[in-house]
Amino acid sequence: MTVEVIIFGILALIAIAAAALMLLTRNAVHSAIFLVVVMSSLAVLFLGLSAPFIAMVQIAVYAGAIMVLFLFVIMLLGAERIGARDMVSWHIPMAIVLAVAVLLLGGYVLLTNPAVAVVDLPTEQIVQGSAEAIGQSLFSGYLFPFEATSILLLVAMVGAVVLTRKEKKSS
């Protein structure tokens, strides 16, 4: 057993345990914190999968900005205690059956379609997703989608402002 397998095992255990606890805990703030743990462990996995830039973006955007937004809304609404009787009992076995079906279907499709053969390469030829490489690709081949996402962000920002605006009493 190599050190890589051990590190992967630890990270996978942390991610799966935190994801399960996120679903089991009744307090929404605890759920958010466990989701941060999942995202952080995935970021470390990204580092190992030669995607250092994406790993940093994962920490900054996901574990940072998005989760702060979640926590902000949870605390703004005082929603951390809402839903003491949150889970409906008969939903749980049905949900688990459906989820296992999803997992088995995905596994079946992946196992019966060996479409992806892992490229066998010496270590120095592995493409590293550095900021430079991502930027080169983003501003050449993916320029149009990149500009489109800027418009999407603008629309989302305007939408969020309009949705949360206090309604004026219409005469």
Partner 1 sequence: MSNQGFVDLFPLLIGLCGVLFTLGVIGVLVRRNAIVIFMSVELMLNAANLAFIIFARALNQIDGQIFVFFVMVVAAAEVAVGLALIVTIFRTKQSINVDSINSLKG
* From candidates 37, 59, 86, 169, binder to partner 1 by CB under 8 A: 86
Instruction: Give residues with Cβ within 8 angstroms of 168, minimum separation 6.
Output: none
Instruction: Give residues with Cβ within 8 angstroms of 81, minimum separation 6.
Output: 27
The residue count for binding partner 1 (CB under 8 A) is: 86
Closest CB to partner 1 among residues 110, 171 = 110
The answer to whether 61 touches 43, Cβ cutoff 8 Å, is no
Angle, in degrees to the nearest 10, between helices 28-48 and 3-24: 160
> In the window 106-165, what residues touch partner 1 (CB under 8 A)?
106-107, 110, 116-123, 125-127, 129, 133-134, 137-138, 142, 145, 149, 152-153, 155-157, 159-161, 163-164
**33/53 Cα distance (integer angstroms):** 23
> In the window 3-62, what residues touch partner 1 (CB under 8 A)?
4-5, 8, 12, 15-16, 19-20, 22-23, 28, 31-32, 35, 38-39, 42, 45-46, 48-51, 53-54, 57-58, 61-62
